[in-house]
Structure 1
Amino acid sequence: MVEDFNNLPEGCIANILSFTSPRDACRLALVSSTFRSAAESDAVWDRFLPSDLDTLFFRSFSLSLPSKKHLYLHLCQKPLLIDHGQKSFQLDKVNGKKCYMLSARALSIVWGDTPRYWRWTSFPDARFSEVAELVSVCWLEIRGRINTGVLSPETLYGAYLVFKPNPGGTYGFDYQSVEVSIEIAGGETSKRTVFLDADRGRRLRFQIVPRLAGIFNGPRFLATVEPPPVENNNSSNNNNNNSHDLQYPKERGDGWLEVELGEFFNNGEDDKEVEMGVNETKNGDWKGGLFVQGIEIRPKTVQP
């Protein structure tokens, strides 16, 4: 069978490979020298790149790379800053789907320009030139917006708040949850409760509690046990809101933390605005000590 394919013109093989995936093209390049030559061609990798890539480069700057494959790999490994450095664009390395991150400057942050509550500073390993430092607020409200028209169609997306705790410490988040939401214009709104304290999830996994000694049990001792369910005060929400669904931050490959705000499916039929929110406005306690880099929107891996 392979020999029959090798007898085909290279352009024909390249056209066939262009209907596969980036991962499949790389695997098929190992079949033979003919396949390798076809799999390296611009005709194949041009199909894997977004059709509006020229527009994205216009919003950023041009890249001089030897081939379309090199361009694809570059966009998978290194985010492209666009819109005056306030957003970034990247490709998912597995399927080539579009990924965006909205910088803190591209978000709507209540009192974000008031130094008493928020400061703007640089961070060595941040993607953008500025991040927002939460000094101290009692009203936490962050919102970001993106249009589905710029995203890949027929794709399930997740939105994630990307942040870091201040090395000097955080306060007000250890026992206080925040409400996060995803709202599609003219569609549904999903809400859930999350914690921004990464250590809380680890503390709740195992707690040290006293065990009472009985008459014949000898002295008291301490043991690690599973904690009781955490009571959720936001019972009015109707999505992902029981204690077992509470989300906690996870460390990313770049060293920052992220917590999922929700998910939405982009069918690609209509261009709709998606609004993502992070709120804690009900409790009234003061909180601070976070660096907010932005909100990332990327494809989710669908489990079989």
Structure 2
Amino acid sequence: MGEQQKNIIKPKDLKIVWSSDNRYWRMPTQPDQPAELLQVCWLEVTGSCPIDKGKKYNVSFEVSLTPDAFGWNNTTLYIMAKIGEKGRYTWKKVNLTNQNTNKDQRFSIPHEQNNLIVDTVADASDDKLYFGLYEIWKGNWKGGLKIYHAVVKEVN
């Protein structure tokens, strides 16, 4: 029985829209620091990693909200993933309205009981998983989200 594959993708390896502008994001200077969203109206965080064909994968982000986080009530985030650039997205809706904002408590989105599972096929033409965290439709300003890393984990 082989060991399950787990990829942890740090903020420096994610593509974060507006991350080069320090009015919108505070990017990590150390490997274990999170990327901190200061304010945006368009949230798009994407990444990719190699996967084994014919397996299933769970995609999640480890995040926290700062005590002064704003703009998350009634805002739906989407976590999306697909196999290959031309693949069809699998997605989950996530709402952060009731998250505890005390002391930067970390949590995973989607929550474990609501996993986003991507099922690959053995004869897929691409062995790369593309994924992202999005809120690009509402246009409301939001801030105070810290992204520690994304996780792509093989599941049985």
Match of 2:106 among 256, 259, 264: 256
Deviation at 1:188, TM superposition (A): 2.1
State the structure with more CA Rg: 1
**1:164, 1:256 within 8 Å by CA — same for their partners in 2?**
yes
Query: Residue 26 of structure 2 aligns with which residue?
Result: 119
Query: Helix, strand or coil for the counterpart of 2:143?
Result: coil
- Quote the sequence identity (%): 22
Structure 2, unmatched stretches of 5+, are: none
Separation of aligned partners in 2, 1:286 and 1:279: 13
**1:105, 1:131 within 8 Å by CA — same for their partners in 2?**
no
Query: Residue 82 of structure 2 aligns with which residue?
Result: 183
Deviation at 1:135, TM superposition (A): 0.4
Query: Residue 300 of structure 1 aligns with which residue?
Result: 155
Relative to structure 1, the CA distance from residue 97 to residue 267 in structure 2 (aligned partners, 3 Å threshold; closer, same or farther) is: farther
Query: Helix, strand or coil for the counterpart of 1:105?
Result: helix
Q: Which one has a larger percent strand, Structure 1 or Structure 2?
A: 2
Q: Which has the higher contact order (CA 8 A, sep 6+)?
A: 2
1:61-80 matches, cutoff 5 A: none
Structure 1, unmatched stretches of 5+, are: 1-20, 22-47, 49-95, 201-254
CA shift digits 1:50-75 (9 cap, x unpaired): xxxxxxxxxxxxxxxxxxxxxxxxxx
Deviation at 1:197, TM superposition (A): 3.9
Query: Is structure 2 residue 119 aligned with structure 1 residue 265?
Result: yes
**1:181 is aligned with what amino acid?**
M
Query: Helix, strand or coil for the counterpart of 1:179?
Result: strand
Query: Helix, strand or coil for the counterpart of 1:144?
Result: strand
Query: Residue 174 of structure 1 aligns with which residue?
Result: 73
Match of 1:157 among 34, 37, 57: 57
The CA RMSD measured in Å over matched residues stands at: 2.3
Match of 1:138 among 32, 38, 41: 41
**2:80 is aligned with what amino acid?**
S
Separation of aligned partners in 1, 2:82 and 2:128: 8
**1:134, 1:288 within 8 Å by CA — same for their partners in 2?**
yes
1:279-298 matches, cutoff 5 A: 279-298=134-153
Match of 2:6 among 70, 78, 99: 99
**1:105, 1:130 within 8 Å by CA — same for their partners in 2?**
no
Query: Helix, strand or coil for the counterpart of 2:27?
Result: strand
Deviation at 1:191, TM superposition (A): 2.6
Q: Report the count of equivalent residues.
A: 146
**1:264 is aligned with what amino acid?**
V
Query: Helix, strand or coil for the counterpart of 2:139?
Result: coil
Query: Helix, strand or coil for the counterpart of 1:169?
Result: strand
Separation of aligned partners in 1, 2:79 and 2:32: 26
Q: Which one has a larger percent helix, Structure 1 or Structure 2?
A: 1
CA shift digits 1:11-58 (9 cap, x unpaired): xxxxxxxxxx4xxxxxxxxxxxxxxxxxxxxxxxxxx5xxxxxxxxxx
Relative to structure 1, the CA distance from residue 268 to residue 99 in structure 2 (aligned partners, 3 Å threshold; closer, same or farther) is: farther
What TM-score does the superposition give when structure 1 sets the normalisation length?
Answer: 0.44
What TM-score does the superposition give when structure 2 sets the normalisation length?
Answer: 0.80
